[in-house]
Amino acid sequence: MREWSVFLEIQTWIWLGGGLLVTLRVAAVVILLSIVTGTLLALARLSRFAPLRWAAASYVDVIRAVPVFLTIIFVFFGLPNAGIEVSTATSVTIALTIYATALIAEIVRAGILAVAKGQIEAARSLGLGRVQTFFYIVFPQAMRMMVPPLVGQYIVLIKHTSIGGVVGLDELLRRAVILYTGFQNPTQTLIVVAVIYFMLLYGLSMLSRRFELKDARVPQVRDEAFLDRPQLAMRPAAPAPTK
């Protein structure tokens, strides 16, 4: 029980809580930045301008093929060599944003392409412009379909923050390593940290499943019915049956 006794002290939980706070702070910034940059990159991939489309596709292919660990190491050592001095947390945030942007771009692009073409054609036939059709018809439906994979990707992203401990990011897992090095209880400490990660990420996983189940219960509108809807109001009413 000596190995577990350290977790009866409030200072231990304050120490681990500080690392968890760093983990959540870095993850939150990466989530906010990558949803913006990923959406812009997805729009670039769908652009009619071929050079822009090829450049965006090349970025996605290269970043997805490079391990996230290598991206973190490259940014951590590359920025100082370029004369840009940033903190460890900032360099890890930049590296994870670079990595997440490529993955989020593919999720956003897939969501946009999943919207039925019939609804786009119906919106255009009603007089909506290209930009209006995207913001009022395409993007809301695409966002609904993107929520489950986005949540899943951000769960993976939160776990990837632990890689930042290799370059000195003072996050949860690094503090756990320091803790069990001092108290010689690696098994007990890693079990506790695993439980913390599980409690944090299991809720997000359940949220993702909830959206998936909710979407499965929503009836799908047929394109033909959607397109015919404007004409329904123009049809004359059926005559009443004669007695």
Q: Is the pLDDT of residue 108 over 80?
A: yes
Give the whole-number percent of the chain exceeding pLDDT 90: 53
The residues spanned by each domain of the chain are: 8-229
| Mean pLDDT of the 30-55 span | 92
Q: Looking at per-residue confidence, does 205 or 97 come out higher?
A: 97
- Write out the chain in H/E/C secondary structure: CHHHHHHHCHHHHHHHHHHHHHHHHHHHHHHHHHHHHHHHHHHHHCCCCHHHHHHHHHHHHHHHHCCHHHHHHHHHHHHHHCCCCCCHHHHHHHHHHHHHHHHHHHHHHHHHHCCCHHHHHHHHHCCCCHHHHHHHHHHHHHHHHHHHHHHHHHHHHHHHHHHHHHHCCCCHHHHHHHHHHHHCCHHHHHHHHHHHHHHHHHHHHHHHHHHHHHHHHCCCCCHHHHHHHHHHCCCCCCCCCCC
Q: Is the pLDDT of residue 130 over 70?
A: yes
Band (218; pLDDT cuts 50, 70, 90):
very low
Residue 217, pLDDT score: 43
Q: Under a CB-based contact definition with an 8 Å cutoff, are residues 42 and 201 in contact?
A: no
Q: Under a CB-based contact definition with an 8 Å cutoff, are residues 74 and 138 in contact?
A: no
Residue 231, pLDDT score: 39
What class is the 8-229 domain?
mainly alpha
pLDDT in tens, 71-98: 999 999 999 999 999 999 999 999 999 9
Band (232; pLDDT cuts 50, 70, 90):
very low
CA-nearest of 170, 191, 159 to 7 is: 191
The pTM assigned to this predicted structure is 0.80
Q: Is the pLDDT of residue 188 over 90?
A: yes
- Here the tokens at position 211 are 């959206």
Q: Under a CB-based contact definition with an 8 Å cutoff, are residues 26 and 7 in contact?
A: no
CA-nearest of 65, 35, 85, 76 to 164 is: 76
Band (242; pLDDT cuts 50, 70, 90):
low
| Mean pLDDT of the 44-49 span | 89
Residue 134, pLDDT score: 76
CA 135 – CA 131 distance, rounded (Å): 6
Q: Is the pLDDT of residue 173 over 50?
A: yes
In Å, how far from its chain's centre is CA 42?
Answer: 13
